[in-house]
Amino acid sequence: MLNKYFYLNTIGCQMNVYDSEQIAARLAALGYQQTGSLEIADLVIVNTCTIRAKAEQKAFSFLGRLARLKIKKPGLIIGVGGCVAQQEGDKILRRVPYIDLVFGTQAIDRLPLLIRKIENKRCRIVDVALTEKPRQPDALPDRRLDGSVSTFVTIMRGCDNFCTYCVVPHVRGREISRHPDRILEEIRGLVQSGVKEVTLLGQNVNSYGKKEGLCSFAELLSRVNSIEGLLRIRFTTSHPKDFGNDLINAFKTNEKVCDHIHLPIQSGSDRILKRMNRKYTKALYLDKITKLRDTCPGIAITSDFIVGFPGETEADFNRTMDLIKLVQFDGLFAFVYSDRPKAPAVQFKNKILEEEKRERLQILLKLQENFTRMKNQALVGSVQPILVEGISKKQSSGSFNRSQPIVQWTGRTSTNKIVNFYHNDTPQSDADIFAGKMVRTKIEKAYAHSLWGKPVGAKSATGGLKGEESYAA
Ligand code: SAH
Ligand code: SF4
Ligand code: F3S
C-alpha cells in the first residue's frame, strides 16, 4: 500500500497544541504519516481558534489557500477542527465548498471513524455535538514524545465562568476535570520518554476537581511534584476569583513548581470587571498579589489585559494603567477587545472605536516595556538554574577558527525567562544529551525579551532548582 500523509496546522492556545498531538496520534493509528509539505498531503487538518476575530480569519485564509490543492488533487481530504469548527458547524461547509469534514472540540475521539467514513464513501460530515457531560476526556494511554524537554498536559477541559467577552465556554463546553490517576500516569510516561517539565493546562486550574469531587489543584500539584525524574511543573491559567491560600503555599512546599504565576486580571477598573463578569475586584486581586509576594518573594507574575471593552472610558483605562504601575508585572499579554458572535458582550452598547482601542493598546504596551526590561535587568549578576531546552542557533565555525560550529543553547529560568548561552563543551552532536539538563548560569546581559548567560557549572538533577542564588564565584 502507498504511504498516506497528513498535514496538520494548529492555530490558537496551548489546549489546541495538546489536542493537535492527540489528533496526530489518531491519524498515525489510521496509517497516515505526518508531513510538513502541503503538496504531498492526502489529508489536511486545521485545528482552529476563535478567541478573537483575527484568529478566526487566520483559519479561513488558510482554508482559502487549499482551493488550488483540491483542484489539483480531488481525492484530498480537508478537515476543520477546534473552536471555529465548534462555533460555525455546517456553515463552514457552505462557506468553503471543498471541505470534507467539520469536527468540534469534543469529537477528537471519533476522528478515526469519521475519516474512515469519508475515505470509503466520499461524503461530507459535520460532527459538532457538545454534551453537558462528555465522556471523561483522556489522552491516548501511550503518549510518547520524541526528544521534547517540555510539554503540555491538559488536566481539565471546558469552562463554566462565562466572562461576557469570551467565546470559550460556548465552544469548549462545560468544565470537566480528568482523574488525577490518569494525569499522573500520563506524566510518568512522558518522563520515561525524556520529558523534564510539564505545563498543566485548564481554563481555570483553580477549580480543578471541584465539580467531580476529585482532589484539589494544590493536592494534584503535590502528587505531580513527587514524580521521580520530573524537574519542573508549570500551570496555566489561574482565575483570580478562585486563587486561594493553598495554591499560594503550593509554590513554597513543592520544589518543582516554578516561580511563575500567570494571573489574568483583564482590567484595573471594578466597573469594567463587573461588566466582564470576572467576579473579583481590583482590591481582591491586589490582596492576592501581596500574599503571593510575601510567601514567595522571587515569584514572577504575568497577566492578560483587554483594552477597549464596551463602555471602557478614559478613566477606566487609566485605572488599568495605574494597576500596571502598582503591580509591576514581569510581562503581560494585552489584546484589543474583539466582538465574538456567541459571547454576550457582542450585545453591549458603547463600543469603542477601533482606532481608540489600538491607541490604548500601544500606550499600555509602552508602559509595560519599562517594567519587563527592569525585571530582566534585575537578574543581571545573579546565578539562575536553567532547564536547557535545546539549540537556539548555530554559529559558523569560520570566524572562530574551530572545527565545530559554536552552538548557542536556550533554556528558561524558573521564572520563565528565556536565557541564551554558549556552552563550548557541548557540540551540536550532543544536543540530545545536553537538552533537558539543569545548568547554573550567571546572567550577564538583559534584553527586551531574553537574557544572556554564562554557565557556571552543572547542578545535580534535583538540588536547588528554584529561584535565584547570589553569585559567589
Ligand atoms: N481562561 C483564561 C483565558 C483564556 S483566553 C482566563 O480566564 O484567563 C486568553 C485571553 O484572551 C484572555 O485572558 C483574554 O485576555 C483574551 N480574550 C478572550 N476573549 C477576548 C475577546 N473577545 N477579545 C479580546 N481578548 C480576548
Ligand atoms: Fe474565557 Fe473567562 Fe473561561 Fe477564561 S475563565 S476561558 S476568559 S470564560
Ligand atoms: Fe484556545 Fe482559541 Fe479555543 S484560545 S480554547 S483555541 S478559542
> What digits encode the pLDDT tens for the residues 283-296?
999 999 999 999 99
Spatial separation of the C-alpha atoms in residues 236 and 188, rounded to whole Å: 20
User: Does a structural domain hold residue 471?
Assistant: no
Question: Domain check: are 361 and 397 in the same one?
Answer: no
Question: Domain check: are 197 and 63 in the same one?
Answer: no
Question: Domain check: are 333 and 392 in the same one?
Answer: no
Spatial separation of the C-alpha atoms in residues 247 and 220, rounded to whole Å: 11
- For ligand 2, atom 5: residue with the closest CA: 161
The three grid cell numbers given for residue 222, joined into one nine-digit string = 503535590
Expressed in angstroms and rounded, the spacing between residue 339 Cα and the centre of ligand 2 is: 15
User: Does a structural domain hold residue 468?
Assistant: no
User: Does a structural domain hold residue 134?
Assistant: no
Nearest bound ligand to CA 19?
3
Nearest bound ligand to CA 16?
3
Spatial separation of the C-alpha atoms in residues 441 and 434, rounded to whole Å: 14
- For ligand 3, atom 4: residue with the closest CA: 13
Question: Which of 342, 377, 412 delimits the end of a domain?
Answer: 377
Question: Domain check: are 81 and 172 in the same one?
Answer: no
User: Does a structural domain hold residue 350?
Assistant: yes
Alpha carbon distance, N-terminus to C-terminus of the chain: 62
Determine how β-strand 260-262 pairs with β-strand 125-127: unpaired
- For ligand 1, atom 18: residue with the closest CA: 166
The three grid cell numbers given for residue 61, joined into one nine-digit string = 485564509
Question: Which of 377, 401, 431 delimits the end of a domain?
Answer: 377
164 C-beta closer than 6 A to ligand 2: no
User: Does a structural domain hold residue 133?
Assistant: no
**Domain region containing 438:** 383-455
User: Does a structural domain hold residue 142?
Assistant: no
Cβ distance 143 to 183 under 8 Å?
no
CATH number of the CATH domain containing 280? 3.80.30.20
CATH number of the CATH domain containing 26? 3.40.50.2300
Nearest bound ligand to CA 207?
2
The three grid cell numbers given for residue 141, joined into one nine-digit string = 494511554
Spatial separation of the C-alpha atoms in residues 166 and 52, rounded to whole Å: 9
236 C-beta closer than 6 A to ligand 2: no
Question: Domain check: are 428 and 293 in the same one?
Answer: no
Among 166, 164, 199, CA closest to 276: 164
Pocket test for ligand 1, best of 159, 241, 304 (most atoms within 8 A of CB): 304
Expressed in angstroms and rounded, the spacing between residue 338 Cα and the centre of ligand 1 is: 10
Pocket test for ligand 2, best of 164, 204, 206, 267 (most atoms within 8 A of CB): 204
- For ligand 1, atom 11: residue with the closest CA: 51
50 C-beta closer than 6 A to ligand 1: no
Cell 508602559 found at = 367
Question: Domain check: are 337 and 442 in the same one?
Answer: no
User: Does a structural domain hold residue 325?
Assistant: yes
Question: Domain check: are 243 and 280 in the same one?
Answer: yes
Q: Which atom of ligand 3 is found nearest the CA of 83? A: 3
Question: Domain check: are 157 and 117 in the same one?
Answer: no
82 C-beta closer than 6 A to ligand 1: no
Pocket test for ligand 1, best of 161, 306, 360 (most atoms within 8 A of CB): 306
Q: How far is CA 281 from CA 11, 115, 241, in A?
A: 32, 48, 9
Expressed in angstroms and rounded, the spacing between residue 225 Cα and the centre of ligand 2 is: 27
Name every residue whose Cβ is closer than 8 Å to that of residue 318 and which is 6 or more positions away in sequence.
Answer: none
Domains in the chain, number: 3
Expressed in angstroms and rounded, the spacing between residue 340 Cα and the centre of ligand 1 is: 11
Q: Cα–Cα–Cα angle for 337, 338, 341, nearest 5°?
A: 140
278 C-beta closer than 6 A to ligand 1: no
194 CB-side CA count, 13 A: 14
Expressed in angstroms and rounded, the spacing between residue 150 Cα and the centre of ligand 1 is: 24
Residue 24: phi, psi to the nearest 5? -60, -40
431 CB-side CA count, 13 A: 17
The 3-state secondary structure of the chain reads: CCCEEEEEEECCCHHHHHHHHHHHHHHHHCCEEECCCHHHCCEEEEEECCCCHHHHHHHHHHHHHCHHHHHHCCCCEEEEEHHHHHHHCCHHHHHCCCCCEEECCCCHHHHHHHHHHHHHHCCCEEECCCCCCCCCCCCCCCCCCCCCCEEEEECEECCCCCCCCCCHHHHHCCCEECCHHHHHHHHHHHHHCCCCEEEEECCCHHHCCCCCCCCCHHHHHHHHHCCCCCCEEEEECCCHHHCCHHHHHHHHHCCCECCEEECCCECCCHHHHHHCCCCCCHHHHHHHHHHHHHHCCCCEEEEEEEECCCCCCHHHHHHHHHHHHHHCCCEEEEEECCCCCCCHHHHCCCCCCHHHHHHHHHHHHHHHHHHHHHHHHCCCCCEEEEEEEEEEEEECCHHHCCCCCEEEEEEECCCCCEEEEECCCCCHHHHHHHCCCEEEEEEEEECCCCEEEEEEEECCCCCCCCCCECCCC
Question: Domain check: are 180 and 286 in the same one?
Answer: yes
Expressed in angstroms and rounded, the spacing between residue 123 Cα and the centre of ligand 3 is: 28
Nearest bound ligand to CA 52?
1
Tens-binned pLDDT, residue by residue, of the chain (473 aa): 678 999 999 999 999 999 999 999 999 999 999 999 999 999 999 999 999 999 999 999 999 999 999 999 999 999 999 999 999 999 999 999 999 999 999 999 999 999 999 999 889 999 999 887 766 556 665 666 667 899 999 999 999 999 999 999 999 999 999 999 999 999 999 999 999 999 999 999 999 999 999 999 999 999 999 999 999 999 999 999 999 999 999 999 999 999 999 999 999 999 999 999 999 999 999 999 999 999 999 999 999 999 999 999 999 999 999 999 999 999 999 999 999 999 999 999 999 999 999 999 999 999 999 999 999 999 999 999 999 998 887 665 444 455 556 778 999 999 999 999 987 665 555 665 688 999 999 999 999 999 999 998 644 333 344 443 332 22
**What pLDDT, on the 0 to 100 scale, is given for residue 135?**
66
Around ligand 3, the residues with Cβ closer than 6 Å are 12-13, 15-16, 49-51, 82-83, 167-168, 171-172
User: Does a structural domain hold residue 401?
Assistant: yes
The dihedral formed by the CA atoms of 388, 394, 400 and 403, expressed in degrees to the nearest 10: 90
Question: Domain check: are 368 and 391 in the same one?
Answer: no
169 C-beta closer than 6 A to ligand 2: yes
Question: Which of 377, 412, 441 delimits the end of a domain?
Answer: 377
**What pLDDT, on the 0 to 100 scale, is given for residue 463?**
38
Cβ distance 230 to 198 under 8 Å?
yes
CA 151 to chain centre: 10
Q: Which atom of ligand 2 is found nearest the CA of 167? A: 1
The 3-state secondary structure of 435-452 reads: CCCEEEEEEEEECCCCEE
- For ligand 3, atom 5: residue with the closest CA: 168
Pocket test for ligand 3, best of 80, 83, 165, 342 (most atoms within 8 A of CB): 83
Question: Domain check: are 174 and 277 in the same one?
Answer: yes
Cβ distance 99 to 80 under 8 Å?
yes
Question: Domain check: are 254 and 361 in the same one?
Answer: yes
